[in-house]
Structure 1
Amino acid sequence: MKVVSIALSAEKGTRKTPVTTANLIAEHGLEGDAHAGKWHRQVSFLAGEDIQAARDRGIDVDFGDFAENIGTQGVDWPSLPVGTRVRLGKDVLVEVTQIGKKCHVKCAIYELAGECIMPKRGVFARVLHGGQLSIGDPITIE
């Protein structure tokens, strides 16, 4: 299990821009990301396998297009119960706070893809312990 994508955006409801490293701040989220702050959805996750499944259905998408912060390989995020702690790399520790989300409006992601997989496959977490995160870092379910 590993991190395969990290992405940030300055505005909510838009595609995120891929980066190779990011700083996660405890009880805040990814530094510089519009979704960071003092709430329960500080960081969002989506499995790379889910993005590939969307591609296989003919949707032209890539990492960051669903506004997820962290794309992964080998983690079935929706199967993790709320409260599960996940270590990212050496230092970062997050706690799963929500599985899926309700989309209130048809955002840029929906317009791009014709559907959004975040309501069923996206997972959200709060940052318990911050630190530097890089593509390729291992993921450990604690």
Structure 2
Amino acid sequence: MKIVSIAYSKKKGTRKTCVQEALLIKEHGLENDAHAGPWHRQVSFLSAEAIDWAKDKGLDVGFGDFAENISTTGIDWKNAPIGSRFRLGKEAVVEITQIGKECHKKCAIYYQAGDCIMPREGVFARVLNGGSITVGDGIEELPGGD
């Protein structure tokens, strides 16, 4: 289980810009990201496998295109129970707060990509412990938390 992409955007509902490393801020989210703040959806996750599925369906998409903050391999996020905790890199810890989301209107991502898989595949978390994360960092599921 590892991080394969980190992305942020200054505006909600848009594709995100990929970076090699970023800072997760406790009870806030990814530094400089429009979705960060004092709520339950501080950070979003999407598996690289879900992005590959969208590509296989003919969509011209890549990391950050579904407005996900962190893409990973080896984790089936949509089946991770609410309350599950994960360590990202050496010190950052997140807790899963929501699986999927309701889209009230078709956003820019839907029109640019032709579909949005975040409502079905995306997972949201709050940051319990901040820290620096880098593409390639390992992810560890922590005991308890449910």
TM class by smaller structure: over 0.9
Amino acid at match of 2:13: G
CA distance in 2, matches of 1:86, 1:78: 14
The alpha-carbon deviation at position 104 of structure 1 amounts to 1.0
Return the TM-score normalized by structure 2.
0.96
Q: Residues 81-128 of structure 1: CA distance to partner in whole angstroms, max 9, x if unpaired?
A: 000001101100000000000011111110012211001100000000
The alpha-carbon deviation at position 45 of structure 1 amounts to 0.1
CA distance in 1, matches of 2:80, 2:47: 12
Q: Residues 1-60 of structure 1: CA distance to partner in whole angstroms, max 9, x if unpaired?
A: 100000000000000000000000000000100000000000000000000000001000
SS in 2 for 1:52: helix
Matched, 1:37 2:40: no
**In the alignment, what sits opposite 2:60?**
60
Return the TM-score normalized by structure 1.
0.99
The alpha-carbon deviation at position 70 of structure 1 amounts to 0.1
Amino acid at match of 2:67: A
**In the alignment, what sits opposite 2:11?**
11
SS in 1 for 2:109: helix
CA RMSD of the aligned region, Å? 0.5
**In the alignment, what sits opposite 2:120?**
120
Amino acid at match of 2:122: G
Matched, 1:83 2:83: yes
Runs of 4+, deviation exceeding 3 Å: none
Amino acid at match of 1:64: G
Structure 1 gaps, min length 5 = none
How high is the sequence identity, in percent, across the aligned residues?
A: 65
Amino acid at match of 1:114: G
Structure 2 gaps, min length 5 = none
CA distance in 1, matches of 2:53, 2:117: 10
CA distance in 2, matches of 1:59, 1:112: 10
Q: Residues 63-87 of structure 1: CA distance to partner in whole angstroms, max 9, x if unpaired?
A: 0000000000111001100000011
SS in 2 for 1:141: strand
